Every structure is written in structure tokens, then in C-alpha cells.
Amino acid sequence: MDLKNLLPDGDELVEHCIKEYFGYSVVAYTTRNSLKYYPAFPWNFAIYDGDSDTWRHYYGISNKVETRAKALRRGWHRAKWLHDGTYHEHYR
């Protein structure tokens, strides 16, 4: 798992936390640009599927949150949906 895949060019990882949920790696992270441009909501999250070596990124204002705990909680829900096969019902 290469965490550089989380960052756009020119950005830098400041802090991150990785948790395993339902066989997926959920990464909560914040970057220099997030702290600069979105100081109230600097945390992002992404899901890594080690079996297929793929990332699911959740960008955009609606996916930015205030704390690491909230980012991990959102990632937990998406990992659960992927695991139980209901992901497509939430993202159409």
C-alpha cells in the first residue's frame, strides 16, 4: 500500500491513521493543503483493497470531516458496504 496515491501533486501528508475493517484498509489522513484550505474540515479518508491492489478515494467537500475519528467512522461504513455487497445501493 503506497500512501503517495492519496496525494495530489504538490501536496504533503501531515498525519494519517490506518485501521482494518471487514478486510479493507481504511486510511484517515490530513495534508498540508487540507489544513491550509479547509482548516475546519481537514480530514479525508480512503479505502485500500489489498486483494485487488486498488484504492477508493473520497474527495470533495462532502467527504471532508473535522476529526480523524469521523473520517475512520465514514470509512468503516463504506468498508462494511463493500463487504456485505450493498455499496452500489449507496452510490448510484
Contacts of 2 (CB under 8 A, 6+ apart): none
Task: Write phi, then psi, for 34 (nearest 5 degrees).
Answer: -60, -45
The C-alpha cell that represents 70 in the structure block: 469521523
Q: What percent of the chain has pLDDT over 90?
A: 72
Q: Which whole number is the average pLDDT over 14-43?
A: 96
Domain ranges of the chain: 11-87
Q: Is the pTM of this model over 0.85?
A: yes
- pLDDT score for 23: 95
Q: With bands split at pLDDT 50, 70 and 90, how would you rate the model's confidence at 80? A: very high
The Cα–Cα gap between 21 and 53 comes to 16
The Cα–Cα gap between 54 and 62 comes to 22
